[in-house]
Structure 1
Amino acid sequence: MIKVMVVDDSALMRKIITRILNSDNEIDVVMTARDGIDSLEKIIRQKPDVITLDVEMPRMDGVETLKRLRKQFPEIPVVMISSLTTENAELTLKCLELGAFDFVHKPSSKSIDMSIESVSDKIVDRVKKAFENKDKLSNVTPILIEDKTTLEKKELKTNLTKLVCIGISTGGPNALMKLIPRLPTDLSASILIVQHMPAGFTKAFSERLDKMSKLHIKEAEDGDKCIDGRVLIAPGDFHMKVRRQGIDLVVELNKGEKVNRHRPSADILFLSAAENFGRRTLGVIMTGMGNDGAEHLGDIRKAGGYTIAQDENSSVVYGMPRTAVELDNVDKVLPLKDIYREIIDFSEK
Structure 2
Amino acid sequence: MNRAAAPAKHAKAVRVLLVDDSGVSRALMTRWLHDDPQIRVVTTASNGADAIEAAKAHPVDVIVLDVEMPRMDGIAALPRLVEAAPGARILMASTITTRGARVTFQALNLGATDAIAKPRSGWATAAGPDFRDEFVRKVRALGEIERPRHAPRRVPPEAAASYTRAEPSRAVPQAIAIGASTGGPNALFELIEQLPKPVRVPIIVTQHMPPTFTAILAEHIARRSGLQAFEASHRMPVQPGVVYVAPGGRHMEVARTGAAVRLLLTDAEPENFCRPSVNPMLRSAAAVWGAATLGVMLTGMGSDGLEGARAIVAAGGTMLAQDQASSVVWGMPGAVVKAGLAAEMLPISGLASAIGCLLEAGR
Q: 2:201 aligns with which of 189, 192, 206?
A: 189
Q: 1:76 aligns with which of 56, 81, 88?
A: 88
Q: 1:314 aligns with which of 286, 305, 326?
A: 326
Shift of 1:185: 4.4
The whole-number CA distance in structure 2 between the counterparts of 1:23 and 1:320 is: 25
Give the letter aligned to residue 199 of structure 2.
Answer: L
The whole-number CA distance in structure 2 between the counterparts of 1:300 and 1:24 is: 36
Shift of 1:67: 1.1
SS of the residue 1:44 aligns to = helix
Deviations 1:209-249 (A, max 9, x none): 21111211111111122211100000011111110111111
Q: TM-score by structure 1 length?
A: 0.88
1:48 is aligned to 60
2:47 is aligned to 35
Aligned pairs for 1:210-221 within 5 A: 210-221=222-233
Q: 2:294 aligns with which of 282, 290, 301?
A: 282
SS of the residue 1:121 aligns to = helix
Contact 1:165 1:281 in 2 (8 A): yes
1:231 is aligned to 243
1:115 is aligned to 127
Shift of 1:33: 0.9
2:175 is aligned to 163
SS of the residue 2:127 aligns to = helix
Of stretches 305-314 and 22-31 in structure 1, the one that deviates more from structure 2 is: 22-31
Give the letter aligned to residue 69 of structure 1.
Answer: L
How big is the alpha-carbon RMSD for the aligned residues of Structure 1 and Structure 2? 2.1
**2:107 paired with 1:102:** no
Q: TM-score by structure 2 length?
A: 0.85
The whole-number CA distance in structure 2 between the counterparts of 1:87 and 1:192 is: 25
The whole-number CA distance in structure 2 between the counterparts of 1:138 and 1:226 is: 43
Check 1:214–1:136 CA distance in 2 against 1; reply closer, same or farther (3 A cut): farther
**2:358 paired with 1:346:** yes
The whole-number CA distance in structure 1 between the counterparts of 2:99 and 2:150 is: 27
Contact 2:62 2:143 in 1 (8 A): yes
Check 1:249–1:117 CA distance in 2 against 1; reply closer, same or farther (3 A cut): closer
Deviations 1:123-158 (A, max 9, x none): 222221111124168899xxxxxxxxxxxxxxxxxx
Deviations 1:294-318 (A, max 9, x none): 1221222222222211111111111
The whole-number CA distance in structure 1 between the counterparts of 2:211 and 2:74 is: 21
Shift of 1:182: 1.7
The whole-number CA distance in structure 2 between the counterparts of 1:191 and 1:138 is: 35
SS of the residue 1:21 aligns to = helix
Shift of 1:264: 1.1
Identity of aligned residues (%): 39
Contact 2:28 2:124 in 1 (8 A): no
Check 1:191–1:116 CA distance in 2 against 1; reply closer, same or farther (3 A cut): same
Shift of 1:348: 2.6
- Structure 2 unaligned residues grouped into runs of 5+: 1-12, 153-171
Give the letter aligned to residue 181 of structure 1.
Answer: E
Give the letter aligned to residue 28 of structure 1.
Answer: R
Q: 2:255 aligns with which of 243, 250, 255?
A: 243
The whole-number CA distance in structure 2 between the counterparts of 1:230 and 1:22 is: 45
Shift of 1:117: 6.1
- Structure 1 unaligned residues grouped into runs of 5+: 141-159
SS of the residue 2:57 aligns to = coil
Check 1:135–1:110 CA distance in 2 against 1; reply closer, same or farther (3 A cut): closer
> Aligned residues, how many?
330
